Structure 1
Amino acid sequence: MKDFIIIGAGLAGISFAETAILNDKSFVVINDNSQNSSRVAAGLYNPVVLKRFSLPQDAAIHLDYMVPFYKRIEERLSVKFDFQLPVYRKFASVEEQNNWFQAADKPALEPFLFPEIIHSEYNGLPAPFGYGKVLHTGYVDTQVLLDSYHSYLKGLEQDCFLETAFSYDELFVHEDYVSYKGIVARDIIFAEGFGIHANPFFKYLPLDGTKGELLLIKAPGLNLDVAVNASIFILPVKKDIFKVGATYEWYDKTAVPTEAGKQELVEKLNELINCDYEILEHLAGIRPTVKDRKPLIGTHPLHKRVHLLNGLGTRGVMLGPSMAKELYESISSGEPVRREVGLQRFKAS
């Protein structure tokens, strides 16, 4: 008997798999690659919501847990995917400068906002009012993380990582275990992202996916070595190569890039930079978001062996490790997760 069956191998799924490994637990991961939001994500992590100058609940705790979590994976897999990189908030006016200073004086934000204006000059990116520097930021190359971790799982033991569609009709939930096509485990973890809408156990939950589109561009004239946040973000990922994003679309639930999304990004990019660039790729995915901007984790109200790890939204790289830990500890102790991130804040229909 395995300890866990894990459905989904995006950021949520591999975070729980790694948590199981850290606790010497056995598992099988089943992944059909139907959800691509983790793979196309920019991977930026930043503890501050710059639009509102607010600090999400427990952001510092999530960040402190995330850094060594990913470091252990990098060392074990001999791969690099977590890159520390400053995030600069581009100011458009003196008023925005003043708002930055006011925010930096707040005790909760003081550790994360550098209290002086940065006047660095970057070719192709005019910034007459300068920048504000966010501390303790970076990005995770999610494609490298996912590809290397999937390969690692495949090498652990036979049938530890199954690339196949999951059939809910063939899952049998018993009082003390679950079984699926001959696999018997104590618990099952659903980490399917937007795929939750096909899940008969959890489709009552108000996970409302948000479509995001981004561009991969080549801009040799843009000598940028930091991530810049303005109306969009620009993230340097390789020499002369940058990710640009992202859009937020609440009605289109397809992971298909659109001309409207591309045009929106191009218009904002042209307002931000004045150098030539070439669009190399146009990507789209559905973020698993909840209206209250908090994760969805916990145990099904009627089936104690069925659990959910979802709703990580735009902060998946930062929330995944700590939310997986909280869910694992809840399963181990039998105590429910905190209400602010738990399923109990929504009634089953």
Structure 2
Amino acid sequence: MTANLDSFYDYLIVGQGIAGTSLAWHLHNSGKKVLLVNDSSLPSSSKVAAGIFNPLTGKKLVKTWLAGDIFPYAQNFYSGLEKKLDAEILHEASIFRPFRSIEEQNSYLSRTSDPGISTYIQDTKLEIIPEHVHTPYGGMEVIQSGWVDLPVLLDKSREYFLENNQYLDSPFAADDLIFSGEHVIWKNITFDKVILCQGYLAKDNKYFRWLPFTPVKGEILEVQIEKITGSQIVNQGIFILPVTGSTCRIGATYSWENLNWDVTESAREELEEKLKPILKVPYSITGQSAGIRPSSHDRRPLLGIHPDHPQLGIFNGLGTKGVTLAPFFANQFSEYLVEHKELSDAVNIKRYFSLYFR
């Protein structure tokens, strides 16, 4: 046992991506003693993700699931952490959606009559078009959107928990867990509960590999775009996310095969093929990264307690919308653990218990 760690914690949280970090903060703010363990030598999809939150997604302009609940909660959560950690984490920015054709223009504008959609539309005037974007058919501006600087969030949170003897950089193996009565022991430290927040790596965990994970590989480019104007995100099949100055992130691809962390030439070509028709100005590629999104079969998060081990839980399956789903459901999971409130049936892993007992 590391010398500065205590012998007892209420919760061991395994994995310090967006899921583990969000849950750690909620349990910590509830007065619980938390130990975060994370193996920094392993790849992390949270550190690769662009962190964009967008209330209207897809070609059909569909309102994001639970947008009216999860977006305000996430914004309050990140704003609070910015103050606590003295760091810039939340970047509010509108999303410009160029129309690909007159038909798409008419289709999208007709959708704005839906009150559930119009709430998130700021404008459809030609003046809102970013100067570096080519779009002869105009476009629309989506609001209540932006991005979260995940590397800053994760790094600053790690520093905080480390300073409070609540973080350990260490490999973790499920075989090292010792269930003892109402507690569980790991590396001679006793916990009330262990919550696994391992993202894609959960597929290798013997306690939860029965859950229907459907991980998706994604790749993004880092580019320098000349004469870029403003902080507006552009979304037309891919996203163009201005980060600092002329530096932008371009993404993302989706692949259900060859699930590894290696970047590929085919992904670069796919992204460039979609980028070139959008931009009016030159660009140069400066980097490329890959991650594996921890998605589930029904595209809903996976929260709950193991059917045979009440000391063991999981928080996973956040998929492509982790920056908005994680805070909201971390709060729900924390209330379930601390106050014994019920989990939503839509996310409770009980919906898959039949897979475990069959």
TM-score by length of 1: 0.95
* Contact 2:129 2:139 (8 Å CA) reproduced: no
1:315 aligns with one of 321, 328, 332: 321
Q: Say if 2:348 is the partner of 1:342.
A: yes
| Paired position in structure 2 for 1:13 | 20
| Paired position in structure 1 for 2:260 | 254
Matches within 5 A, 1:201-216: 201-216=207-222
| Paired position in structure 2 for 1:161 | 167
- CA–CA distance in 1 between the matches of 2:141 and 2:288? 28
Paired residue secondary structure (1:114): strand
Equivalenced residue count is 347
TM-score by length of 2: 0.93
| Paired position in structure 2 for 1:80 | 88
* CA positional deviation for 1:118: 4.2
- CA–CA distance in 2 between the matches of 1:227 and 1:320? 22
- CA–CA distance in 2 between the matches of 1:301 and 1:334? 16
Paired residue secondary structure (1:216): strand
Counterpart of 1:345, as a letter, is R
Identity %: 32
Q: Say if 2:249 is the partner of 1:243.
A: yes
* Contact 1:119 1:130 (8 Å CA) reproduced: no
**What CA deviation, in whole Å up to 9, does each residue of 1:89-124 have, x standing for no partner?**
111112212222222211222211235344434333
* Contact 1:298 1:336 (8 Å CA) reproduced: no
- CA–CA distance in 2 between the matches of 1:309 and 1:275? 43
Matches within 5 A, 1:1-349: 1-33=8-40, 34-114=42-122, 116-157=124-165, 160-334=166-340, 336-346=342-352, 347-349=354-356
- CA–CA distance in 1 between the matches of 2:217 and 2:164? 34
- What is the alpha-carbon root mean square deviation over aligned residues? 1.5
- CA–CA distance in 2 between the matches of 1:11 and 1:263? 29
* Contact 1:296 1:308 (8 Å CA) reproduced: yes
**What CA deviation, in whole Å up to 9, does each residue of 1:299-335 have, x standing for no partner?**
1112111111101111111111111111111222445
Counterpart of 2:22, as a letter, is S
Counterpart of 1:218, as a letter, is Q
- CA–CA distance in 2 between the matches of 1:273 and 1:335? 49
Paired residue secondary structure (2:121): coil
* CA positional deviation for 1:268: 1.1
- CA–CA distance in 2 between the matches of 1:334 and 1:199? 26
**What CA deviation, in whole Å up to 9, does each residue of 1:266-324 have, x standing for no partner?**
11111211321111110100000113211111111121111111011111111111111
* Contact 1:87 1:135 (8 Å CA) reproduced: yes
- CA–CA distance in 2 between the matches of 1:125 and 1:55? 25
- Gap regions ≥5 residues in structure 2: 1-7
Which moved further from structure 2: 176-185 or 330-339? 330-339
- Gap regions ≥5 residues in structure 1: none
- CA–CA distance in 2 between the matches of 1:137 and 1:118? 20
- CA–CA distance in 1 between the matches of 2:60 and 2:335? 32
- Runs of 4+ in structure 1 off by over 6 angstroms are none
